[in-house]
Chains A and B, each alone.
Chain A
Amino acid sequence: MRAVALSLRHELIGLAGVVERNVYLTRRYIYWDVAFFVWTVANTLTIVFIAEGIEATGGQIDVERATTTLLIGAVVWAYLGIIFEFLTETVAWERWEGTIEYTFMAPLSRAMHLGGSGVFAVLYGLVRAILLFIVVAAFFGLAFDDANFIAALVVLVVASISFFGIGMMTAVLPLISPEKGAQLGFVAQGMLLVVSGVYYPVDVLPQWMQWLATISPATYALEGIRAAILEGDPLSSMWPQIWPLLVIGAASIPLGLAIFNRGEVYAKRHGKLKRSG
């Protein structure tokens, strides 16, 4: 019993170590973070201006509602991008820095190693997403009199569990294919978002894409967040969005971990756990 408690303690310290390392790295690369944030704000503005553009060219829409809908889509896209980037690059970054062998020969379980990356990604992603939302909303002077931000935040955090599970699946790609893995991770992220109704209702998609939308956690996250911010829906009415997110999360995390572990065995068998350059 004591050994189990000691082992668990070591694992949690290791998880905190991954978070700590990413804090150090973020501090060291802070100017890059500022640059990426400015780029994301600019990119979000170009998307959100589409609503005003439609009205200016004669379209009949509720500009404020369309602006908010696009803003939510852009913020969730940016948030998801951060989660996927951190998880997919957990291996790629270590390979590039040359620390991969030291990390994989440390007595830390893969669940805690990836968990540390996931925890940091969620915290960092939330800060970036909230800041992005505030800056762009202020730019357009959007009013959110009825918005339920607490409910929106809860939906985003619950959705993060599923995003984390899927991120673990994509994290295996750079492990088994040092040269092409990271690129494939970006492709997976793009495919997930295109079917999830980021800037449009899922109903406009072809039928086969709508089917894929039902298994994408981003679909439910976007629905829930939009209902909370646009309609002011309370958390108690979000169950239709929350239960699929919990189910996808419960399935994707063990599946993601199992896939990563298989990938690690493959990498050890074929000598892929090696630094680049």
Chain B
Amino acid sequence: MRELSPVPPDALAVEARDLRKEFVRKDRKRGKRRVPALADVSLTLERGECVAILGQNGSGKSTLVRLLSTLLLPDGGSATVFGYDVVRDGKAVRRLVNRVSVEASFFKKMSPSENLHYAARFYGMTPSETTERIPMILERVGFPSDRRGEPMENLSRGMQQKVALARALLTSPVLLLLDEPTTGLDPRSKLEVQDFIREMRAEHDSTILLCTHDLDEAESLAERVGILDAGRLLALEPAADLKARFAAETLEEAFFAATGRGFEDEQDELDAEERKALA
């Protein structure tokens, strides 16, 4: 894949400038109106860096991930991935990026092995390559070999998420977008996934953008932590600096000081608006 989308050595992994996305909401009382999901967000990620973005539901985290993975077109601003523009050079970006989202998202009747085989074909991997690599990767993520042939629908959420990580790893992405990868997992599965993320960084030189609800996860995995609130990026700096800036002892306190809201409070209105716009 990298042969077709060479990564320039001096390019930033991600560079977003005034990135903006709005969704149209239809309302009986107020008619059609545009609701901002992401408002003039600017950020950069260095190659090999892990950056965590914290935000409540509806704060714009998934919108940011979907813009960087070319699933959405921005309404303003620009974004590049290793120098490739997400709008103009969509295909080049897609060769370099993969994603793990909160939903494992597989064909439910198909087995982990079948799901991985066909997904790898989309990245140009031949049957001889996948026959060798898939069992190896599933073993690395700790997936039991005797369950590789079972339908996905028979597997637990934790197991499914391991297959999702294997799918992302299979394509050797240089930018990995993790959208709440441990949400809803039991504590053990969560730790296993987090260990695997560390391993991927160490061994694959991947740049990681981690959108999460989990403050401890953000602090332990990322070099810098961003706070996204109502589509605006309020801060992006190392966790220690963030806490110092808001005179907070914990990231949760820093989040509260930055947004004026508790971390667990959902931004119900925006979330509902986005859901409606996307329906």
Contact = CB atoms under 8 A, between A and B. Distances in A.
B191 interface: no
Interface in B62-115: 66, 69-73, 91, 94-95, 97-99, 101, 103, 105-110, 114
B71 A103 contact: no
A108 B122 contact: yes
B171 to A, nearest CB: 8
A21 B70 CA distance: 23
Interface stretch (B43-51, B123-131, B140-148): B123-131
Contacts of A107: 1, 4, 91, 94-95, 122-124
Contacts of B73: 265, 268-269
Interface string A66-92: 000000000000000000000000000
B3 A105 contact: no
A270 B24 contact: yes
A274 B23 CA distance: 14
A7 interface: yes
Contacts of B133: none
Nearest to A273: B71
Contacts of A128: none
Interface string B219-251: 000000000000000000000000000000000
Given A9-B124, A17-B121, A107-B1, A98 B71 contact: no
A274 B278 contact: yes
Contacts of A10: 1, 4, 123-124
B278 A99 contact: no
Given A107-B91, A107-B94, A271-B278, A101 B123 contact: no
Looking at chain B's contact residues, is the secondary structure mostly helix, strand, loop, or mixed?
Answer: loop
Contact of A104 (B23, B71, B101, B103): B71
Contacts of B4: 3, 6-7, 10, 107
Contacts of B117: 17, 20
B118 interface: yes
Contacts of B97: 105
B12 interface: no
B70 A20 contact: no
Interface in A1-50: 3, 6-7, 9-10, 13-14, 16-18, 20-21, 24-25, 28-29
B105 A99 contact: yes
Contact of A97 (B72, B106, B167): B106
B277 interface: yes
A13 B109 contact: no
Contacts of A3: 3-4
A2 B117 CA distance: 26
A13 B110 CA distance: 20
A274 to B, nearest CB: 5
Nearest to B97: A105
B135 interface: no
Interface in A157-190: 178-179
B248 to A, nearest CB: 34
B72 A275 contact: no
A105 B91 contact: no
Nearest to A106: B122
Interface string B181-213: 000000000000000000000000000000000
Given A268-B72, A272-B278, 4 more contacts: A6-B3, A16-B121, A21-B118, A269-B73
10 contacts: A13-B121, A18-B118, A20-B118, A21-B118, A25-B107, A102-B119, A103-B122, A105-B70, A105-B98, A270-B24
